[in-house]
Amino acid sequence: MTPPIRVYSLGRRDYEPVWRAMQDFTAGRGDDTADEIWQVEHPPVFTLGMNGKREHVLDAGPIPVIPVDRGGQVTYHGPGQVVIYLLLDVRRQGMGVRALVTALERTVIDYLAGLGIPAQARADAPGVYVGGAKIAALGLRVRRGGSYHGLALNVNPDLGAFARINPCGYQGLATTSLEQLGVDVSWGQAAEGLTRCLADALGRSIEWVPAAPLIPDPSPRRGEGRASG
């Protein structure tokens, strides 16, 4: 029997230490390591995926820009956005990367359907959309058979921050949020609903763990610096 996925709520955390912790968790996985979901909210940050081009950061202003190791282009994280990180043994799960991306898309679409919002994925522009406007971003990395990164849903963020970039590399791409669509849900309600939909999409049970994993303060690794802009 496949064990449940452990769910941790990290609260609001800086992006870089959480990203480093995901890398360390994945590097240290063993055959018996439990899968985990991390719910988190980040202070304002732009992350630039491995396919990302700096030209798609139009005017970062005071918001830091961090090149990261997920797929995709540039996206924004900030307060009012639910971020769900999926730390999954994909071989044990029996899923390829494409199937995992589809499961993340289905997670958001099913959650929004429960709120009465019809949404769709697009083959030409990864993410989930409502009436042509992007409401959720997706990005993954699979390393040594383990996934990390995940999805981000706009609950009530500052949508003006997206005007500082070409979201996911698309000039003029419209973005929206639950708040803009007239849906009043809290961050916690959205995080719980998304997590349950993700477990359903994966065919897994979940275990809510009250203590958050230890996330150390960020510090540059040897030979590495921090990128900002």
To the question of whether residue 49 is assigned a binding role by annotation, the answer is no
Quickly count: other Cβ atoms within 10 Å of residue 35's Cβ. Answer: 22
Q: From 139, 148, 158, select the one nearest 42 (Cα to Cα).
A: 158
Determine if residue 76 is labeled as part of a ligand binding site. yes
φ, ψ for residue 217, nearest 5 deg: -65, 150
Residue 74 assigned as binding residue: yes
Instruction: Establish whether 73 is an annotated binding residue.
Output: yes
Among positive and negative, which fits the CA dihedral 210, 2, 87, 193? negative
Can you tell me which residue has the tokens 């996934």? 147
Please check if 77 is assigned to a binding site. Answer: yes
Distance of CA 198 to the CA centre of its chain: 12
CA 112 to chain centre: 16
The count of other CB atoms within 10 Å of the CB of residue 77 is 21
Give the closest residue to 136 by CA, choosing from 179, 89, 176, 171: 176
Q: Find out whether 152 is annotated in a ligand binding site.
A: yes
Give the residue numbers marked as catalytic. 168
Structure tokens at 81: 């956005």
User: Is 150 labelled a binding residue?
Assistant: yes
- 75 assigned to a ligand binding site: yes
Instruction: Specify binding-site residues for substrate.
Output: 70-77, 137-139, 150-152
Annotated binding residues: 70-77, 137-139, 150-152
